[in-house]
Structure 1
Amino acid sequence: MSPTTEPEQKTFDVGEAVLAYDETGDGPPVVYAHGLTGSRANDDAWTLTDWSPVVVAGRCLVRYDARGHGRSTGRPQHTDYTWSHLAGDMLAMLDHVAGPEPVDVMGSSMGCGTLVHAALRRPERFARLVLIIPPTAWETRPAVAEANRTSADIVEQRGLAAYLDAIRDLPLSPIHSQAPGEPPLPDITEALYPHVMRGAAATDLPDPEALRTLRHRTLILAWEQDPGHPVSTAEKLHALLPNAHLHIAADYADVTTWGERAAAFLNA
């Protein structure tokens, strides 16, 4: 997101955490949820995806830091960071910024998992859905869950700096390699990092058959050759969701069109 003016920083107390958020633009709200270890600041620092076309198209873009990420607070309790628990924060944020009206919502990776859980819990709160780089799920989830638990153990035993040093030379996916700049560091404190990662390890998308009940108009944006966000998840969601359209990007140049694609979909 590259807003032309610095948005006002706001906070919202959900009881277990205080969520930091901002609003850019005028018009009907569109709420955006980022991915694991990310934040609004990280999205601004490394503009892998630029959602400013949503604002230009006449919408108010509401971005928030998930609990334990960025400027939002969090507790040292891993169950707080499962997608089903984060869904409660998303629903509270929708009520806070939009009242009772259905809201268009975008979610990336962890935010995508959060969005799917929230939409199943309270489908009437949602208008259109944009599911961005759906993460590993179902049969592809166990390997990533084990990696998340391992990272939690290393940070607890040796510290966050040691873990980041250990993964420094791991190869990036092709699209990440094509994007300008360097991936930002995790925007999570060392104290909370193990709990956030264990929460991620303990989570998954809902039962596939339950997803067939989600009749919202849905845009799925996926990219190729990223084991953490396999095309297989996006394709399965496309098959399960009755009103979904799937777009798969082969390179970074295609990803730079996602802002316009999302804006056109949300305003259709």
Structure 2
Amino acid sequence: MKKPKQTQLNPNWLQLQQKLNDSKASRSFKTSDKVTPESILGKRKERPDEESNDSQINPLTPVNNDSSLTDAVAMDCEMVGVGQGNKSALGRVTLVNKWGNVIYDEFVRPMERVVDFRTKISGIRPRDLRKAKDFWTAQKKVSELINGRILVGHALSNDFKALLLSHPKKDIRDTSEYQPFLRSSSRRALRHLAAEHLGVQIQTGEHCPIEDARAAMLLYQRHKKEWEKSIKDQFRLKQKQRKSKQKKKHKIEEASNANHVEIES
């Protein structure tokens, strides 16, 4: 038997078919090469970056730009050394509102000669006090700003001493004295409270009074409901104790008057 003749293809058709096959193979290779690293692995690599950016948001950053005077303000002061260096004097005072925006921040020139700027802690340098506010001007302004308002801060007794000011006890919210913040009845540093309750690191080097005031205010805001309730409970307890003492005093006076009447009769 004769073998069937093989049909010969047109040379032009063979060339076209070869080009089409090469083109398909090329597209297949490029597609698989691009999809794997860019569309799959690439997306996986982006997720940790997005999460890390979110975790880096500082809670002390104000949520708005409103610098108005609010019903509650936080204060922090930085001190310098005068006299023999062991005596503290006001070197800078800062006030922020309830959102953490600065409403007053001034360097203050002490009445006595500064012998220790305590820069490692205070962050104050000689150049900062050359054009600073005089003490009495700063004191008057702070007094006006805190008058009639809730004052938040940490160890505020030190700030009051430096400012030669006082404030009604009922309007003071001191984070160093708030019972839930104490440990074994001992006061804790503001940086420890900020790390534990706010998840932020402060005072790692030179102190920033703006940052410290914001930390104190945020601690207060996050515990405001419980804090204010404890203040009201303390006030009611004191009122109850005061009334009880007055009743006892009244009874003693009545008994004493009755005895005088009996003796006279």
TM-score by length of 2: 0.29
Taking structure 1 as the reference length, what is the TM-score of the superposition?
0.29
User: Greater helix share, 1 or 2?
Assistant: 2
Structure number with greater Rg is: 2
